[in-house]
Amino acid sequence: MLVDLDYFFAQAEEVRNPSIRDKPVVVCVYSGRTADSGAVSTANYLARKYGVKSGMPIFMAKSKLESVDSIFLPVDHEYYDAVSDRIMVLLRRYTDVFEQVGIDEAYLDVSHRVDEDFAKGELLAQQIKREITRTEHLTCSVGIGPNKLVAKIAADIRKPDGLTVVKPEQMREFLAPLPIGSLLGVGKKTEKRMLSLGIRTVGDLSRFDVQTLSSVFGKNGAAYFHNASMGIDEEPVKEAGETESISRIATLKENTRDLQVVVDKAYALCADVHSDVLKRGLVFRSVTVLAVMADMSVRNKSLSLGGGTSDIGVFKSTVKDLLSKLLKESDQPIRRVGVKIAQLSKTEVAQERLTKFLETP
Ligand code: DCP
Ligand code: CA
């Protein structure tokens, strides 16, 4: 499921000042050189009807809205960040796997939550939309599909306040008529080249000769476009920073099977890793210990913690348990010991910030 807030900065402005709602609203990044120099960040859908778009010079937006009673506002990132943080916390509660992509968009892998049932997925999306409207007075557009690629296109196809579900068996039929530019990864340049090859729709692309495609976009590009045109996408929804980990390893004074000696060394490494965690404001969800045994074989053991933590006590006691298990599984003495934390995120920090925000009158 992809959840994307509608005309986010402009809608956030409407929320704090509902009297501007029925006028074109344009949110701008003023560069300060002259009164009107700078670019449009985003605009509400009314302003878009007059041709105003993200990235357009402010003077151009002004000329498009010359004879219209319209509202031009400067960006207020602090305010949008706070709204975004609250909504991301809210969304996270609806899923086991969450991936924020940008300030107003997130993928939710809800497969498990809805027993792989698309009808249940649709109900869940309606519930999410209702809660965002109730708590933040904002609308969003949601796309549900068998993978991220299709969910994203589905979310984009009906805006604002859209909800589009594409089941696996509807995927081909859904994608085929779409203009080629709606495919993720097809920007203006690629679109031009595709059009010159006679590829106007995603369906055209799916039928296009892969060899010819390769000669134009390279092997990898051709493979991506060919798969994408058929809705094939294996990219998992992943927590930001999930691939990242922090680890330390050290050699013991002498090879040993004495748990306490190994643990003491490991605790020093834990303290080192933990200071990184604090400095970077992270939480971790998994702990791994690693040992190079006297015969140079490498063993490791991991534990997934229930939720994210930055607690050194939890870290150390997990390391001790894991090392004790690791020793029992081998009769070799340990030569080197290492600790690693992974599944890092900043979420709980954002949550703390949120709590502070809500508590500050
Ligand atoms: N943004 C920006 N400059 C751009 C594009 C976007 O400053 N060139 C900012 C303003 C947007 C926010 O990022 O509100 C989110 O971008 P989106 O592309 O999701 O656009 P919107 O949310 O504004 O509109 P939509 O309803 O099409 O999602
Ligand atoms: Ca958006």
The residue among 241, 203, 205 whose CA lies nearest residue 226 is 205
Beta bridge partners of 251: 336
For tokens 């969800």, name the residue. Answer: 285
| Tokens encoding 169 | 């068996």
* Residue 136 known to be catalytic: no
Which residue among 104, 152, 153 is best mutated to probe the pocket of ligand 1, counting the most ligand atoms within 8 A of its Cβ? 104
Torsion over CA: 107, 346, 102, 3 (sign): positive
Give residue ranges with CB within 6 A of ligand 1: 4-9, 41-42, 54-55, 103-104, 159-160
The span from the CA of 167 to the CA of 170, in Å, is 5
Quote the CA–CA distance of 217 and 200 in Å, as a whole number.
16
Give the pLDDT confidence score for residue 243 in this predicted structure: 55
Ordered alpha helix ranges (H), 187-258: 188-196, 202-207, 210-229
Token duo for residue 69: 């009673």
Rounded CA-CA distance 160/140 in Å is: 7
Beta bridge partners of 341: 246, 287
316 Cα–ligand 1 center, Å:
43
Sequence letter at residue 45: Y
Nearest atom within ligand 1 for CA of residue 45 = 26
Give 155 Cα–ligand 2 centroid separation in angstroms. 10
pTM reported for the whole predicted model: 0.71
pLDDT at 359: 46
Please tell me whether residue 65 adopts helix, strand or coil conformation: coil
Active-site pick, 14, 105, 136, 239: 105
Ligand nearest to the Cα of 9, by number: 1
Instruction: Give residue 281's pLDDT.
Output: 79
Q: Distances from the Cα of 42 to the Cαs of 28, 55, 284, 358, in angstroms? A: 7, 8, 35, 27
Q: Any residues with CB less than 8 A from the CB of 227 and at least 6 apart, and which? A: 233
Length, in residues, of the chain? 361
Looking at residue 358, what is its pLDDT? Answer: 44
Looking at residue 350, its pLDDT comes to 44
Positive/negative CA dihedral, 66, 20, 11, 120: negative
* CA–CA dist 13, 26 (Å, integer): 10
| Segment 222-228 long-range contacts (CB within 8 Å, at least 24 positions apart) | 224/185, 225/183, 225/185, 225/186, 228/149, 228/183, 228/184, 228/185
Distance CA 213, CA 211 (A): 5
- The reported pLDDT for the residue numbered 82 is 92
Placement of tokens 């939720």 in the chain: 307
Q: Starting at the edge strand that comes first in sequence, how are the strands of the sheet with 245-256 ordered?
A: 245-256, 334-342, 284-293, 298-309
Residue 322's nearest CA partner among 346, 290, 292, 344 is 290
Q: Whole-angstrom Cα distance, residue 63 to residue 46?
A: 15
What amino acid is encoded at 320 in this protein? K
Mean pLDDT, consecutive 10-residue stretches, the chain (361 aa), reads 98 98 97 91 98 96 97 95 92 91 94 95 98 98 96 96 97 96 89 96 97 92 92 85 78 96 97 88 90 88 88 96 96 95 69 47 42
The amino acid occupying position 118 is: F
Best residue for ligand 1 mutational test, from 2, 42, 77 (most atoms within 8 Å of Cβ): 42
